[in-house]
Amino acid sequence: MSSQYAEIDGVITYIHRHLYEPLPLSRLANYAGYSPFHFTRIFKQRIGIPPLYYVSSLRLQKAKDLLLRTNQSVRDISLEIGQQSQGTFTTRFVERVGVTPSEFRHSRLQAEEHLRSLQSLGGWKEWQSEATRIGTIEGTVGTEVPFQGVTLVGLFAKPIPEGLPLYGMLLHNMGDFRFTNVKPGSYYLMATSVSWGMKALDFLLPYTTLRARLREPLVVTSYSPVPFQEMILHPPEFGDPPILISLPLLMNHFLNRTMYASK
């Protein structure tokens, strides 16, 4: 690892230690010993997203944690992570997690039911419509460690798993995936896994789930095919951006599609 990246890792540790304090770009850049412009460039190379976006993502992850592990009110949690307006906090939470803070707080039982429902389905293969090379993104997901469960694969608008994916699917264990009729544009391909033995808290707060992400966007055009993608799920690595999207929400979308298709 380059010395610059080691310095960025030091900043990440600093961010975690001072997450509840004001962390303007100037403070983080000064800590690293760089100009704000140079610091932002190196940080984005190392982590994949700008520093202040990383900070806001960690704070939202902390809010998820507080919602499930404490009895603090939504307003108190919004203040604790630096949001003066509960309305603004709720709006951003919905945009990036997919449900309201209150819905997320009360989703544990539902999350366990979704995982049990998926396990009871047994094997499945969720192919979309017949593929043409143009407008199709396909590949395979493997893993570095033994795994039995469900893998969630999505194409996201931003280089962090937040908000509902623009295109998403669930795999039984791992294997091949395919998205068809993908509109021209840039997409970030990411995946994470939930093993059958996990409790609801383990994937509502997915600190330990296996994950994989492509650092560079996939560009879909109307004239050129996208190369086949190979992804390897791995344990969380230092500095990984948090997985903000509610994984049970994605499970529920899949289950609803499956029930609709079986009618």
3-class secondary structure for the chain?
CCHHHHHHHHHHHHHHHCCCCCCCHHHHHHHHCCCHHHHHHHHHHHHCCCHHHHHHHHHHHHHHHHHHHCCCCHHHHHHHCCCCCHHHHHHHHHHHHCCCHHHHHCCHHHHHHHHHHHHHHCCCCCCCCCCCCCCCEEEEEEECCCCCEEEEEEEECCCCCCCCCCEEEEEECCEEEEECCCCCEEEEEEEEEEECCCCHHHHHCCCCCCEEECCCCEEECCCCCCCCEEEEEECCCCCCCCCCCCHHHHHHHHHHHHHHHHC
Residue 262 has a pLDDT of: 46
Residue 262 in contact with residue 171, Cβ under 8 Å? no
CA distance 33 to 51: 15
Q: How far is CA 14 from the centre of its chain?
A: 22
- The pLDDT, as a whole number, for residue 200 is 96
The per-residue pLDDT for 263 is: 44
pLDDT 10s per residue in the chain (263 long)?
A: 556 788 899 999 999 999 999 999 999 999 999 999 999 999 999 999 999 999 999 999 999 999 999 999 999 999 999 887 899 999 999 999 999 999 999 999 999 999 999 999 877 776 555 666 788 999 999 998 888 999 999 999 999 999 999 999 999 999 999 999 999 999 999 999 999 999 999 999 999 999 999 989 999 998 889 999 999 999 999 999 999 999 999 999 999 887 545 44
Q: Rounded to an integer, what distance in angstroms lies between the CA atom of residue 204 and that of residue 183?
A: 30
Taking CA atoms, 152 is separated from 27, 63, 75, 164, 190, in Å, by 37, 23, 32, 12, 8
Among 208, 257, 243, 256, which residue's Cα sits nearest to residue 98? 243
Give the chain's end-to-end CA distance (angstroms, integer). Answer: 54
Place of tokens 């690293």: 32
C-alpha–C-alpha distance, residues 44 and 5, integer Å: 10
- The confidence score (pLDDT) of residue 260 equals 47
How do beta strands 149-156 and 167-172 pair?
antiparallel
Query: Residue 35 is which amino acid?
Result: S
What is the pLDDT at residue 126? 66
Could you tell me if 32 and 8 are in contact, meaning their C-beta atoms sit under 8 angstroms apart?
A: yes
